[in-house]
Amino acid sequence: MSRTVLRRAQPDPRAARATTVAAGRARRLSRAVLVGAGTAAALLLLGVLTRDKWDPLVRFDERAVAAATSFSAARPALVDGLFAWQWAFEGVHLFVPVAGLCLVFWWRTRMTTRTLWALVTILTAWGFANLAKEVARRARPVLDDPIAHAGGYSFPSGHAANTAAMTTALVVLVWPVLRRRALRVAAVLGAASLMVLTALDRVMIGAHYPSDVVGGIVFGVGLVLASYLGYRGWSPQDASATTGSTTNTTTKAAR
């Protein structure tokens, strides 16, 4: 009597890997959606409060701008510095050096898709910040003795939004090659400092209310983080090239 040996089907490792990769991408894309939705909700809430002139927020904004501009007006040297910072951190002036840094990063690492992600995200943030102004249509601060006169709408602050988006994108871009903890901490602190200084500049010059610059920072940081999570969902190898030599990092990033 013959015996038939039944062999169990061996699992296909490629199929298992594909399933794992797909699940990881789904998680990242879900996180991107959540971060994007959270950012939009925060901006919407702040925009509604400013547009409907919620008394506690309006009073705080007006008092803060009045106090800040009074402090600045008494110090001509500070006003000159505020105007210089305003010019340097205007989106059209800031984009060129930031794009140059992105290209230098690409030249040194050959992380092509990661560099393209950063550039596209920065341009997208620039465009959406201007669109958000048209949606909110909040008037600029009106002061008895203004330091500067700015055109357009006030919420969110374009300077704050662009600075937040560009600095956050740069930190995320170079994160894989910053292998020392001290360098990563310095990068985050540097980006945060530029955001805060730009926000202070806009309020102290009288061009924006505090809620405008807060909205700009929330917009810029939130958009970049949501975009990065979505990018990692499509290109996990490029986003995870954090170990090995420069050659290995370049090879992984080019996949």
Predicted confidence (pLDDT) per residue in 105-157, tens digit: 999 988 889 999 999 999 999 888 888 888 888 888 888 777 877 778 888 99
Domain that holds residue 186: 24-140+156-253
Domain count, the chain: 1
Q: What is the pLDDT of residues 214-239, one digit of tens each?
A: 999 999 999 999 889 888 766 545 43
In a domain, 149, yes or no: no
Does the pLDDT value for residue 168 go beyond 90?
Answer: yes
Percentage of the residues of the chain whose pLDDT score is greater than 70:
78
Q: Helix H segments across 137-209?
A: 158-174, 181-204
In a domain, 126, yes or no: yes
In a domain, 39, yes or no: yes
In a domain, 9, yes or no: no
In a domain, 221, yes or no: yes
- Torsion sign (Cα): 180, 186, 189, 191: negative
In a domain, 208, yes or no: yes
In a domain, 112, yes or no: yes
Structure tokens at 125: 């943030």
In a domain, 11, yes or no: no
